Amino acid sequence: MARKRKKSKSKKRNRQSKAKASSEATPSEDVEVAPDGVSADVDATDDLDVIDLDAETDGASVDDLLEAASALADEAIVASADTSNDALDQAIETSEAELDETVERIEPGDENDVTVVPLDEDEDITTISLDDDDVTVISLDDEDDDITTISLDDDVDEDAASLIAQALDLDGSGSEDSDAVETEGHADIDPDGSSDTEGDESDDASEGADGPVMTPDALAALRDLRTEGVGSVPTELVLDLGEGGTPEDRDRLLQAALAHVEMQDAVYRVPTETGQRRRFGAAATALVLLAALWVAVAPPSFIVPPTPPAVTDIDRLDGVRIALWLQAQQVEAFRVENGRLPEASGEIGGGLEGIRYVRSNSRQYQLVALTPDGRTLMYDSTSPDPTFAAIAARFSSLHGGSE
């Protein structure tokens, strides 16, 4: 807005300089009314030209008189133009004063309500401050800067922004009944331009005067911005105050900026989290952590399929006995095929390892293996343990009685 003033001043200066140029040019064109040196000086400050028509006119020709009359006519025109410039200067000053009245500073009021106060003439910066954390600055001090940036640092609750935008009927789809937006006991934003609070009537009166007002112009400007793709309640609003913008355009953009700030303020007032909700979140987090610990340490069967039964020591001991019996079968097979006992375990076929073969004599032998607990288990060909007979019977039944 200060830039607007400066532009007005600049225009004023231009016009004044033009007028001055016109007025300065005038004295140099002194009209010689009479050849005897009688002249009429017409300067910029004179509204009345004094012409001595009674002076020595004897020597003047009619043509001189006509020329002098023509010069007077031109001077009258110049004087009229100066008069118009003065009126224009007055008009410019009046407009500038009116413009100063429109430049405002928005400062935080009670409970961060936005208040509007007149801006001093010397101030070039309009500051809109919502609270200590969220500072919004509209900078208009640089004439060369065509872009005014309104920065709102905090994140915007998208849902709240959507709700507010919907309530403000920015997309034009709202009903007539949803004109006002209530924001937690503070300012109500009414498209009709009225401001109201949820509190008592005294608050209504005070805030109605100084509280934030969402004017129809602001809403219209926001609708236009939304149409132009600015979107709903962005965190940063960029307005282009181009050189060719008219004062009406700038007023419109300022209204849009103020409406944007007001909407952001309304967004901030939407309760996003309560103490009860926070406690609920902490409890849910603790429960999930406990469940994660439970699943990690002892996963339940509905999450992890049951693992196969482990091999027990009994199974392993039984396996050693079966292996001894099978190895004895290999020794007997060797004896049947070769008519003698093998000299060493190397002569015994089969894939059973870890069984020690001990030949006592040409007809007797022992097979020794270790049990899982480190004890030795022996198969003596002379008198095998009865458990081996049970194993033989089991294999005989499994293999159809061939053994």
Contact positions vs other proteins (CB under 8 A) = 155, 157, 272-273, 278, 281-282, 284-286, 288-289, 291-293, 295-296, 299, 303-305, 307-311, 315-316, 318-320, 322-323, 326, 329-330, 332-334, 336-337, 349-354, 394-395, 398-400, 402-403
CB of 238 to other proteins, least distance (A): 22
CB of 320 to other proteins, least distance (A): 6
Give the dihedral of Cα atoms 388, 393, 395, 396; nearest 10 deg. Answer: 140
3-state secondary structure (DSSP) of residue 62? helix
Q: What beta strand segments (E) does 154-209 contain?
A: 188-189, 195-196
CB of 308 to other proteins, least distance (A): 4
CB of 346 to other proteins, least distance (A): 14
Secondary element (H or E) of residue 63: helix 62-102
Q: Are 136 and 261 in contact (CB under 8 A)?
A: yes
Give DSSP secondary structure letters for 41-52: ---TT-SS----
CB of 244 to other proteins, least distance (A): 40
Q: Are 107 and 115 in contact (CB under 8 A)?
A: yes
The C-alpha atoms of residue 326 and residue 365 are separated, in whole angstroms, by 14
Nearer Cβ to other proteins (55/293): 293
CB of 274 to other proteins, least distance (A): 12
Nearer Cβ to other proteins (141/315): 315
Nearer Cβ to other proteins (276/307): 307
Taking Cα atoms as reference points, which of 333, 147, 175 lies closest to residue 253? 147
CB of 284 to other proteins, least distance (A): 6
Nearer Cβ to other proteins (155/343): 155
Nearer Cβ to other proteins (155/201): 155
Q: Are 247 and 255 in contact (CB under 8 A)?
A: no
Nearer Cβ to other proteins (133/343): 133
DSSP 81: H
Taking Cα atoms as reference points, which of 74, 43, 38, 41 lies closest to residue 53? 38
Nearer Cβ to other proteins (36/315): 315
Q: Are 236 and 149 in contact (CB under 8 A)?
A: yes
CB of 282 to other proteins, least distance (A): 7
Nearer Cβ to other proteins (245/350): 350
List the structure tokens of 259: 């409406």
HEC string for 286-346: HHHHHHHHHHHHCCCCCCCCCCCCCCCHHHHHHHHHHHHHHHHHHHHHHHHHHCCCCCCHH
